Amino acid sequence: MHRSGLIELEVVMAVMRRGSFRGAAQALSMSPTAVSNAIAGLESRLAIRLFHRTTRSVALTEAGQRFVARIGPALREIQQAQEEIHSLADEPSGTLRLNVPQNIGPLFLDDLLVRFLVRYPLIRMEVASEARAIDIVAEGYDAGVRLAEAVPQDMIAVPLTADIRMRVVATPQWFAEHGTPQVPEDLYQHHGICMRMSNGSNYRWELARRGQQFDIAVPPRLATSDLFTSIAAVRAGLGVGFLPGFYIEEDLRSGALVSVLDEWTQPFKGLCLYYPGHRHIPAALRTFIAFIRAGR
């Protein structure tokens, strides 16, 4: 087998992350044809197929998954070595790769990242938003964003937001027509605007007070994996939602939405940036961490 160039390995990782040749081409500033040829050439030399291809999707084969698991960390070490050299310059540089949950960008992350990139013009950033929880090391990311309670124990966490409190909310008109819940069980008499989880189930509303706990499966009028669709549906008066308070602060202040059962919803720790503590920290990530800790 001929020795593979680094570009071919980078193409494999980019196709895996983006899920398409076109997306990988955009990320690498290559043509889709060049990406396809690089994958085909590597597969030919390895004598094994790395990706399943259909007209709509591209996914790793079992062999491809094993290949990526081996080359990912090694490729990242090479990239970090290159970035270490760049970090010797006066101005921080390099590429920062983040994996973040869906729906958080418009709230605070978009503005944070824009201000960071304006402040550090030599740093590049790649951000992947998805619902599933992943192994950021295995999939080639420098850092991720998750709720504090979901950060793996072997990772270092940097707080990004204040504590979060979920709110049971609907329009005043909804409660006027359907009654105001006094206890959690009353929610079963309402239509729910429910969040659809990545495993296909609906998120059960977790309510607790003085040792009593409820996991409420409100009958769904609408179930969606998009938080902003849920918020729009609640604002439109389609039912009751269970929403993070900081997304709807203005609605609550203006009276457009009303919060009920507040004594049953307790704050919990918010979102954190997290990264592996046992590895070299790339210059771009080190700069981003300092940016966050300094209060941006």
Could you report the per-residue pLDDT of 198-227, keeping only the tens digit for each?
Answer: 778 889 999 999 888 999 999 999 999 888
Residue pair 271/161 in contact (Cβ under 8 Å)? The answer is yes
For the chain, how big is the Rg over CA atoms in Å?
23
Mean pLDDT of the chain: 88
* Six-digit token string for 8: 């071919």
**CA 279-283-289 angle, 5° bins:** 85
Beta bridge partners, 147, equal: 271
pLDDT over 90 (residue 177): yes
Task: Report pLDDT digits (tens) over 10-43.
Answer: 899 989 988 889 888 888 888 989 999 999 999 9
Q: Say if residues 140 and 282 touch (Cβ distance below 8 Å).
A: no
Please give the CATH number for the structural domain made up of 1-74: 1.10.10.10
C-alpha distances out from residue 186 to 167, 177, 218, 219, 229, Å: 15, 14, 10, 12, 24
Confidence (pLDDT) at 106: 67
Classify domain 91-159+270-296 by CATH architecture. 3-Layer(aba) Sandwich (3.40)
Q: Is-contact 83 94, C-beta < 8 A? A: yes
What's the gap between Cα 90 and its chain centre?
32
For residues 119 and 116, give the distance between their C-alpha atoms in angstroms, rounded to a whole number.
5
Q: Is the CATH code 3.40.50.300 the one for domain 166-264? A: no
Confidence label for 190 from pLDDT (cuts 50, 70 and 90): very high
What mean pLDDT do residues 167-196 have?
96
Q: Is residue 58 scored above 60 in pLDDT?
A: yes
Q: What is the pTM of this model?
A: 0.62
Average pLDDT, integer, range 240-259: 95
CATH 3.40.190.10 in the chain is located at 91-159+270-296, 166-264
